[in-house]
């Protein structure tokens, strides 16, 4: 059976949504990143980048959430746009926009506001500004059409959903005031039974919730170099 290595964080949760939407059977294997399980040698053989999600499907190992979404969509032939160069070009552009823009800028915006040892105004401004700018582009698109690729719900909507759920952490609750179309899109996907099951998956395991020294050592290894330099 397909194995899904996950936690309750945004990138694994969007893959959980795809798995639930396709109806594929899967074995969900928790990786508690706040306890450092992503650094275990067995896991790093699957993903040398030491992050979730990862899937193992027979002899295929796929890491990076957007690669997994595309793999699963192609495997099942579901949630893809029509098979024309125009539609495929559009799908790849927006999927990569979410992967290389929405995800990293949102992640860094969360980091500098909520986890960095110092509150650095320059870093907070840069990453919240860029996250807001990227979500603004998406909001404008969703003002003109129901879904990211038009009338049909696709893998790009699932990729976006993983991070749109985190807007209160990324930009603050008030940001919804300037992202009404994204909020409508989020609420529509949240109401899908598959999304409810994807969100509930994290409750199957007692993931560590404290962001203590152990968690910071596991998730922010760059801190160690800073501490060593500081002596
Ligand atoms: N580009 C990767 C990023 C994966 C990623 O950052 N995963 C986070 C959870 S959302 C993680 O494993 N964090 C633990 C760590 O950084 O040690 C993807 O899209 O899958």
pLDDT over 90 (residue 224): no
List Cα–Cα distances, 110 to 50, 132, 150, in angstroms: 20, 12, 30
Pocket test for ligand 1, best of 4, 7, 11, 95 (most atoms within 8 A of CB): 11
pLDDT over 90 (residue 228): no
Structure tokens belonging to residue 228: 């060593």
Bridge-partner residues for 2, per DSSP?
A: 26
Specify the pLDDT at position 121: 98
Q: Could you tell me what percent of the chain has a pLDDT over 90?
A: 96
Residue ranges of E strands in the chain: 2-6, 26-30, 54-57, 60-63
pLDDT over 80 (residue 41): yes
Among all chains, which residue has been given the structure tokens 């945004």? Answer: 10
For the chain, the residue count is 231
Q: How confident is the model at residue 226 (pLDDT cuts 50, 70, 90)?
A: confident
**Is 52 near ligand 1, meaning CB less than 6 Å away?**
yes
Peptide bond preceding 134: is omega within 30 degrees of 0, i.e. cis? no
Q: How many CB atoms lie within 10 A of CB 24?
A: 17
Q: Could you tell me what percent of the chain has a pLDDT over 70?
A: 100
Instruction: Determine the atom of ligand 1 nearest the C-alpha atom of 7.
Output: 9
Through-space distance between the first and last CA atoms of the chain, rounded to whole angstroms: 49
Instruction: Determine the atom of ligand 1 nearest the C-alpha atom of 51.
Output: 12
Specify the pLDDT at position 230: 83
Task: State the average pLDDT over residues 212-216.
Answer: 95
Instruction: Determine the atom of ligand 1 nearest the C-alpha atom of 10.
Output: 10
The mean predicted confidence, pLDDT, of the chain is 97
Question: Sign of the C-alpha dihedral, residues 98, 102, 108, 114?
Answer: negative
Contact 106, 163 (CB under 8 A): yes
Q: What's the pLDDT tens digit per position in 140-190? A: 999 999 999 999 999 999 999 999 999 999 999 999 999 999 999 999 999
Specify the pLDDT at position 156: 98
Calpha distance 203→208 (Å, rounded): 11
Task: State the average pLDDT over residues 189-214.
Answer: 97
For strands 60-63 and 54-57, give the pairing.
antiparallel
């Amino acid at each position: 059976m397909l194995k899904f290595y996950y936690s309750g964080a945004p990138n694994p949760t969007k893959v959980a949504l795809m798995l639930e939407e396709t109806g594929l059977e899967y074995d969900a294997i928790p990786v508690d990143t706040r306890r450092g399980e992503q650094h275990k040698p067995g896991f790093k053989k699957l993903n040398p980048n030491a992050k979730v999600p990862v899937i193992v499907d027979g002899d295929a190992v796929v890491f990076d959430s957007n690669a997994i979404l595309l793999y699963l969509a192609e495997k099942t032939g579901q949630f893809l746009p029509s098979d024309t160069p125009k539609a495929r070009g559009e799908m790849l552009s927006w999927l990569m926009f979410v992967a290389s823009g929405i995800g990293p800028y949102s992640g860094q915006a969360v980091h500098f506001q909520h986890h960095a040892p110092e509150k650095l105004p320059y870093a907070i401004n840069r990453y919240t500004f860029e996250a807001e700018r990227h979500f603004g582009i998406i909001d404008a698109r969703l003002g003109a059409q129901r879904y990211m690729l038009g009338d049909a719900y696709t893998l790009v909507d699932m990729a976006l959903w993983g991070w749109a759920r985190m807007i209160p952490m990324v930009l603050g609750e008030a940001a919804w005031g300037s992202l009404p179309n994204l909020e409508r899109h989020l609420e529509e996907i949240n109401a899908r039974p598959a999304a409810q099951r994807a969100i509930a998956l994290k409750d199957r395991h007692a993931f560590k919730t404290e962001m203590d020294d152990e968690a910071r050592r596991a998730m922010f290894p760059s801190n160690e170099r800073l501490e060593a330099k500081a002596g």
